[in-house]
Structure 1
Amino acid sequence: MNKLLILLLLLSTSLHAQSLEALVEEVRANNPALKALESEYLAARERAPQVSQLPDPELGLGGFPLPVETRLGPQVLRVSATQMLPWFGTLSQKEKLEITKAKAAYERIGAEALNLLFELRQAYLQLYEIQHSQTIIQENLQLLDALEQLALAKVESGRATLADVLRVQLKKEELLQQLALLAEAEVPPTVTINQLRQRELQAPLSLNDSLVFTALPFQQDTLEAYLRQYHPQLRMLQQQQEVSRQMIALNDLNTRPSFGVGVDYIMVNERTDMMVPSNGRDILMLRATIKVPLFREQYRAREREEQFRILGLSQQEDNALSRMLAMVEQAYSNHRAAMLQKDFLEKQISLTQTTLQILQDQYSAQGGDFAELLRLEQDLIRYRLQWLKASVQTHLAKSKIEQFVAIK
């Protein structure tokens, strides 16, 4: 009955089997945090066309309740138009500033994507280890079932005691308790993965990958230069520094005069009390204005503000790079430690399986130390779980490095 239940469970979960690559694509396509950042980037791109245009012209209309008398007649209506003109290059500098801001917003998308994908891979590897640990324990339970049947046969033949059967049953209860705990441990990584891909939080996941020990396809001594050039978080900080430099350039242009040109049209009625040459001729007046920024302290303060911001962002960049390199070094160390266990554990598993077979044959033929047989059975499951954990550790170390090594 238990075997049938396990088989049905495996068949049902296989319908939901997911590979890591498929989950990554789902997160890229569906994660709301990435969509929100992309919307912010698209909004930032629309700023450049807004600031690169001339200011709107000003139109004016005025009347004269008390007409101003002139030699040619009374003034009755004034129509005016004014266009302000910033200093040469100011509009293009404003556009360049907004484009740089949009580039910083774009790099933020890449930085968030790397963090989310690492969170996904971490949860995936955790779930992978849990599910394959369950498989190892279930296989061990089948071996214990066989040992229990063997012990019962020995008891019936009078060549063993009931204690051997009870020892097997105790070990089986321990493993069943481990399976129950592992089933509960599946919940946190499953919820994390489903939340990242915007699915039902409790939707079951069965992973169809088969992971073995993996190598690190990265040259550690070249990572620092690579990170500075390609990592989106560092590129974002670099773009933010460039934003401040563009702000300084714009601030310098704002200290220059700006100009205005305009035209006034004044309607004049004809005089009725006398006739003069050009009687009632309208007036057309051309105007030019200049705005001179005399009070310079605000501009000097703005420049100092941006210089301090550049310094702070540069320090953030150095700190972020230092933190990344420290985490990369830890990942390499964890990978080396896991690889050191590989040959040892594989050798132990092979020797233990051989010894177990010998002792089981010996016990079946003439009896023997059943406690030693059970101890070796527990050693075998421990070695297999350690091998699984070490192999997963190599993939986790690789994922940690991939969190910082952005794809070009």
Structure 2
Amino acid sequence: MKNKLKRKGFGLVLVMLLWGCFLKAQSLGSLVEEALHSNPEIQKFEWQYARASERVNEVNTLPNTEFGMGYFASEPETRTGPQRFKVSAKQMLPWFGSITARENYASALADAKYEDIVVAKRKLIASVSQSYYKLFAIRSKQIVLGQNIKLLKDYEVLALNSLEVGKASAVDVLRLQMRQNELERLKKVLEQNFVAERTVLNKLLNRQVDVEVTVADSLPIPEDNMEFALEDLALHPELLKYDKLYHSVEQSELLNQKESSPMFGFGLDYIAVSERPEMDFSDNGKDVVMPMVSLSIPIFNKKYRSKTKQNQLLQKELLSEKQLRLNKLEALFQKAVTDRSAARISYNTQSLNLKQAKNAENILIKGYETGTIDFNDVLDVQELQLKFQIDRIEAVKSYYVQTSIINYLSK
């Protein structure tokens, strides 16, 4: 039941993560689902958890039953006859509750191991999402470069027309062509970057590197941010694991106390006796059957006292590690929130700049109609426009990458 609740909470995290993918959200959602089912690291942690859970059955056992057999090389003579051989069996039993304590300790370790699965899945979701957003940014930049190359070609036509009537120089045409060449180079480089990042994403999904990945056409930044409280970090699985480990140390100490108690056992000895020749009495040749009871007392129990001290020190260590990890998660959370706000500011600023750059472009086009176009200004405006477009794409990518980090940290 507890695992089902955890999986339900984990599903809510997944839903919150995917809310931002506007047009083709299912594409990212399907990639995440595929990764969760096929990623070998997740499978590794699941096998580790299954192995830890199976250990509960391993510890639910009694000590080995001891059997022994001896043959008298020199048969001792007794009143009822000479003894020939001896057979014995012995079973030791742990102190009351020792087996239950072992099971509880093994179960506590398995519960702590389960948190590794939850953490690994959250990290995988964040990695898949961030890789997806990087692919979106690369593809969007390619589209923007293509639009700017087309724009420069239009300007080139204007420059050639102006050259014919003596209102532009051949240098202006060459500058426009060189700028086109540079943008073509950047576009080809981005294609290589896309292939490299696609490989990263496909490997997260444990599939072939050349499998095609479809990204969203656009990722609009929402009007309002989905807010998360800093207090939610207290329920993060990375911190819950320390609680589970602390509990396992408590179970370890209970087990230690049980193991420091005596053990008792029972057994049976059977001795075969031969008849004494030429004698006639009632117990002649009667075998010996001897029930036995034993008690094992740990008189020298220094190791158990040392184990108690180690458990106490380990609990203090876990508390310190938990606080250290909490501090790092809080710092990461605050940075992600700040960077996401900065991305929104940058997006709004670049959108405004783009409007102004578009206005400047319109003024230049009208200047061509009056024969006063300056192609140096054309290149300057085009470069500014491209910069604003690229910066806006980076702002969108940063916004969603930081959102994926916040989602990883939130419950």
TM-score, normalised with respect to structure 1: 0.88
Mapped partners of 1:151, 1:206: distance in 2: 38
Q: Give the corresponding residue for 2:53.
A: 45
Distance 2:129 2:316 in 1: 35
Distance in 2 (CA, whole Å) between partners of 1:236 and 1:394 is 29
Select 2:233's aligned residue among 224, 227, 235.
227
In structure 1, what is the Cα distance between the partners aligned to 2:76 and 2:233?
A: 74
Q: Partner of 2:272 in structure 1?
A: 267
Q: Is the CA contact (8 Å cut-off) linking 2:36 and 2:124 kept in structure 1?
A: no
Pairwise CA distance, 1:300: 1.0
* Structure 2: distance between partners of 1:101 and 1:83: 29
Note the 1:1-400 alignment, pairs <5 A: 19-201=27-209, 203=211, 205-208=213-216, 210-214=218-222, 215-219=224-228, 222-224=229-231, 226-229=232-235, 231-400=236-405
- Residue 299 of structure 1: how far off its partner (Å): 1.0
Shift of 1:135: 0.8
How far apart are 1:107 and its partner, in Å?
Answer: 0.9
CA distance in 2, matches of 1:271, 1:209: 104
Structure 1: segments with no counterpart, 5+ residues: 1-16
Instruction: Report Cα offsets for 1:217-257 as digits up to 9, x if no partner.
Output: 232xx333x2222x222122222222211111111111110
Higher alpha-carbon deviation: 371-380 or 255-264 = 371-380
Counterpart AA for 2:233: L
Match of 1:403, SS? helix
Q: Is the 8 A contact 1:255 1:293 kept in 2?
A: yes
Aligned length: 386
Q: Per-residue deviation at 1:31?
A: 1.6
CA drift of 1:66 comes to 2.2
Counterpart amino acid of 1:218? Answer: E
Cα distance in 2, alignment partners of residues 53 and 138 from structure 1? 71
Give TM-score, length-normalised by structure 2.
0.88
Counterpart of 2:269, as a letter, is D
Identical positions, percent: 31
Moved over 4 A (4+): none
Deviates more, 1:263-272 or 1:314-323: 263-272
State the distance in 1 between where 2:136 and 2:26 align.
11
Aligned mates of 1:142, 1:254 — CA distance in 2: 80
Name 1:4's counterpart in structure 2.
none
- SS for the counterpart of 2:206 is coil
> C-alpha displacement at 1:37, in angstroms?
1.6
In 1: Cα distance, 2:252 partner to 2:142 partner: 59
Deviation track 1:147-192 (CA, whole Å, cap 9, x = no partner) reads 1112212222334333332231122122123223323333542332
- Name the CA distance, whole Å, in 1 between partners of 2:188 and 2:303: 68
Query: Within 2, Cα distance between the matches of 1:338 and 1:196?
Result: 26
Q: Which runs of 5+ in 2 are unaligned?
A: 1-24
Deviation per CA, 1:297-352, whole angstroms, max 9, x where unpaired? Answer: 21111111111111111111111111011011001111111112233222222232
Which segment is superposed worse, 143-152 or 319-328? Answer: 143-152
Report SS of the residue matched to 2:281.
Answer: coil
Q: Which moved more, 1:364-373 or 1:33-42?
A: 364-373
Q: Residues 264-288 of structure 1: CA distance to partner in whole angstroms, max 9, x if unpaired?
A: 2222222222111233222221100
Measured against aligned partners, the alpha-carbon deviations of 1:334-380 in whole angstroms (never above 9, x if no partner) come to 11111122332222222322331242133145342232233222222
CA distance in 1: counterparts of 2:264 and 2:359, whole angstroms: 93
TM superposition shift of 1:115: 2.4
Counterpart amino acid of residue 141 in structure 1: I
Greater alpha carbon shift after TM alignment, 73-82 vs 254-263: 73-82
How far the C-alpha of 1:123 sits from its partner, in A, is 2.4
The structural deviation recorded for 1:202 is 5.1
> Which residue identity does 1:238 align to in structure 2?
D
| Counterpart-to-counterpart distance in 2, 1:199 and 1:51 | 39
